[in-house]
Amino acid sequence: MIFDIISSTSFWYAVLRVSTPILFAALAAIVSNKAGVVNIAIEGTMLISSLTGVLFSAWTQSVFIGVSAAVAAGVLTALILAYFSLNLKTDITLTGIALNLFASGGTIFLLYLVTGDKGMSGSLKSLVVPSWDIPVIKNIPVIGEIISGHNLLTYLAFVSVIVVSVLLYRFPIGLRIRAVGEDEGAVASVGLNVTRIQYIALMLSGVLSGLGGAFMSMGYVSWFSKDMIAGRGFIALAAEAMGRGTPVGTMTAAMVFGFADALSNYLQALQISAELVMMIPYITTIIGLFIYSTKKKNNK
Amino acid sequence: MNKTGNSRQFEIIRTLAAVGIAMAAAVIIIFIVSKEPVNALYNFIVGPFTSLRRFGNILEMACPLIFTSLAVCVMFQANQFNMIAEGGFFFGALCAAIAAVKLPEITGVSVTAALLAGGIGGASLGAVPGILKAKWNTNEFVVSLMLNYVALYLGLYLMNTFIRDTNAGSKVSLKFQEGFRLPNIVPGTRIHLGIVIAALVVILIYLFLYCNKWGYSLRITGQNSKFAEYSGINTFMVILFSQILGGAIAGLGGAVEMMGIYNRFQWSALPNYGFDGITVAIIAKQSPKLVPAAALFLAYLRTGADIMSRSSDVPSEVISVIQALVIVLIAANSFLSGWKHRMLVKQSMNELAAEGGK
């Protein structure tokens, strides 16, 4: 039965689709972690961006403005995180927890004010980012069915893996970000502004989280519903750890979690208790983190 | 004047200022979004005191918050950022519900057994990130957040499989047996014996943390685990035990809530008391003796917000703004630190001047 699922091309298509938000979020985690700032507010940032995308695309009837607004909201949230943790010296974990609480309640608050509904944005005519049939490749059997016809944001997520790699390892700002993460003191000693570099890293992290959030409400589904991120921002933190902070390793880990997520979606259609099946992505994450930490311990 | 008294005074002022700023922000938001802001504010601020039943709501809601925030205090004091209070509370409530449906009824023993089941349920959840962290240094924050979802779905599965009332229209459990209920102690409200249990647990956890070798080891490990290790403290056990204890307290809280307020299990989502417990613990500066006051404060805000959302056009989620601001401002080391600095300088100048005059 599971074999039937895994051998179908539509399942692997779904793996790419559900990996998208985790991948965006995991890239966001890489960029901030490299600068020595653990951004646990990615979950809340994505939630805020999801709602922003829906609201702006519904108001302006423009997909581009919707996605841009979602990204802007992501950056704004990252700036708030940066201000409190870097300027006011609040513990970054507590700031993250606070932002996640705020995102969870604040989005419901705003949704209710706009739509009069506390659960879903169904009454808003929001837009969806279009999907793309890749020329030539779409005609190749199996491969075409798996990698063609995805949402543009899905392609952007995989392109972002390359962009983030190049940015971190080929550009001066990438070097600075990594240097701050390695040794703040050394960076400060050559006259660079550590706080400014961390601000930039967190803003980039906000851009990527914003795109992940936009995908959730303007691609994955076509509406906003409360707490719709459902832990993906945290799963991404696990993916970043398992990928040892490298973009390609993290992408692989994100796709493993995407696989678990897709499997859970598929199994729900069968005669298996939905509750048990819904645990799969979360248990996979715990097992993944566990395997990662046992290996890390052995290597020491 | 002594230094400690001064900095404690400063901490109190800082906490009050943070709460004040957060409340002011909420008031501004209410004025922006509401068509009847005065009515909304009246219901929010004064509403909870307009009837005995509403006033009772504050105490009813403070009870679960006291448990979850004590759980958070114990884990945060050991420097374990474990979020299991949420899932532990839910899972403890479910374990107690199973006991209250399935176990035989024996006067006095029954309810204790249900509470014990809740505590064990919560403790077993807390043990998972605890063992992983203590033995393999796995990030307890992410593991516990994932485990919250597992607790939710596993709990719903167990409810559906073992105690679901198939005659009821929605997904709810069979009714609890009478002998499993925590008795009501204030007629006209739903305040139950659980509030007494909560008070006892506050005292016990305070004694554990501040008057006991184990609690001392826990706090030292939280402040500086390397130092603790070198002074011969078994940090492995502290890391593990603090999270098991945290899970147990949260689970006990869930059981108390279930046996005190409900007559059947009817939750289909996490009730959010665990995350509210974090807010309470931060307001209380992670000190058990301040937890009851902080829990009452948040319960008052929540009760007021519920009344406001029922009688005006402002949804109760406006509290999330207050919660977030209170957490970041209280935890912000630099918040008002300039003012503290000036205060210290002024004071020492005075002292110097006084000495010079002698």
Domain-located, residue B248:
yes
Q: Which of B154, B268, B317 to mutate to test the interface with A (most CBs of A within 10 A)?
A: B317
What is the DSSP annotation of B320-341? HHHHHHHHHHHHBTTTTHHHHH
For A206, the token pair is: 């906000």
B202-248 pLDDT tens trace = 999 999 999 888 888 889 888 888 898 888 888 889 999 999 999 99
Q: How far is A108 from chain B (nearest CA, A)?
A: 7
Q: What are phi and psi of A225, to 5 degrees?
A: -130, 155
Position B123, amino acid: A
Judge whether B261 and B176 are in contact, CB under 8 Å.
Answer: no
Count of CB pairs separated by less than 8 Å, A with B: 138
Judge whether B264 and B18 are in contact, CB under 8 Å.
Answer: no
Q: Which of B142, B282, B324 sits opposite A234 (nearest CB)?
A: B142
Q: Which of B137, B149, B324 sits opposite A101 (nearest CB)?
A: B324
Q: Is B180 helix (H, G, I), strand (E, B) or coil?
A: helix
Q: Which of A88, A114, A244, A297 to mutate to test the interface with B (most CBs of B within 10 A)?
A: A88
Q: Which residues pair with B164 in a beta bridge?
A: B173
Domain-located, residue B40:
no
pLDDT for residue B249 is more than 70: yes
Interatomic CA distance for residues B88 and A83, integer angstroms: 33
pLDDT score of B4: 53
Interatomic CA distance for residues B304 and B201, integer angstroms: 27
* Domain that includes residue B86, residue range: 58-297
Helix H or strand E segment including A151: strand A150-151
- Taking the CA atoms of residue B25, residue A229, residue A41 and residue B219 in that order, the dihedral angle to the nearest 10 degrees is 100
Interatomic CA distance for residues B221 and B218, integer angstroms: 5
A210-242 pLDDT tens trace = 999 999 999 999 999 988 998 899 999 989 988
A234-283 pLDDT tens trace = 999 989 988 888 999 999 999 998 998 888 888 877 777 788 888 888 99
Give the CA radius of gyration of chain A.
19
Q: Which pLDDT band holds residue B74 (cuts at 50, 70, 90)?
A: very high
Length of chain A: 300
Helix H or strand E segment including A229: none
Domain-located, residue B20:
no
Judge whether B329 and B283 are in contact, CB under 8 Å.
Answer: no
pLDDT for residue B5 is more than 70: no
Q: Which residues pair with B330 in a beta bridge?
A: none
Look up the ipTM and state it.
0.87
Which candidate, B303, B226, B248, B239, places its Cα nearest to that of B52? Answer: B303
Q: What are phi and psi of B125, to 5 degrees?
A: -70, -45
Interatomic CA distance for residues B349 and B215, integer angstroms: 40
Cβ neighbours, 10 Å, residue B219: 18
Domain-located, residue B94:
yes
Q: Is A132 helix (H, G, I), strand (E, B) or coil?
A: strand
For B249, the token pair is: 């307290």
Q: Name chain B contacts of A229, Cβ cutoff 8 Å.
A: none
For B44, the token pair is: 């929010």
A10-58 pLDDT tens trace = 889 999 999 999 999 999 999 999 999 989 999 999 999 999 999 999 9
For A15, the token pair is: 């793996």
Which candidate, B190, B222, B221, B252, places its Cα nearest to that of B59? Answer: B190
Domain-located, residue B187:
yes
Q: Which of B328, B329, B335, B337 to mutate to test the interface with A (most CBs of A within 10 A)?
A: B328
Location of structure tokens 């390359």: A162
Interatomic CA distance for residues B79 and B69, integer angstroms: 15
A142-178 pLDDT tens trace = 888 888 888 999 999 999 999 999 999 999 898 999 9
Straight-line distance from the first to the last Cα atom of chain A, in angstroms, rounded to the nearest whole number: 41
Q: Which residues pair with A252 in a beta bridge?
A: none
Q: Which residues pair with B173 in a beta bridge?
A: B164
Contact B146 A285 (CB under 8 A): yes
Contact B160 A91 (CB under 8 A): no
Locate the chain A residue with the closest alpha carbon to B318.
A109
Cβ neighbours, 10 Å, residue A299: 6
Q: Which residues pair with B243 in a beta bridge?
A: none
Helix/strand/coil percent split, chain A, to 5: 75, 0, 20
Contact A290 B282 (CB under 8 A): no
Most confident of A129-138, A143-152, A269-278, B155-164: B155-164
Interatomic CA distance for residues A77 and B341, integer angstroms: 30
Locate the chain B residue with the closest alpha carbon to A277.
B153
Q: Which pLDDT band holds residue B3 (cuts at 50, 70, 90)?
A: very low
Q: Name chain A contacts of B150, Cβ cutoff 8 Å.
A: 279, 282-283, 286
**Number of domain units in chain B:** 1
The model's pTM = 0.89
Q: Which residues pair with A150 in a beta bridge?
A: A132
Q: Name chain A contacts of B143, Cβ cutoff 8 Å.
A: 286, 289
Q: Greatest CA separation found in chain B? A: 87
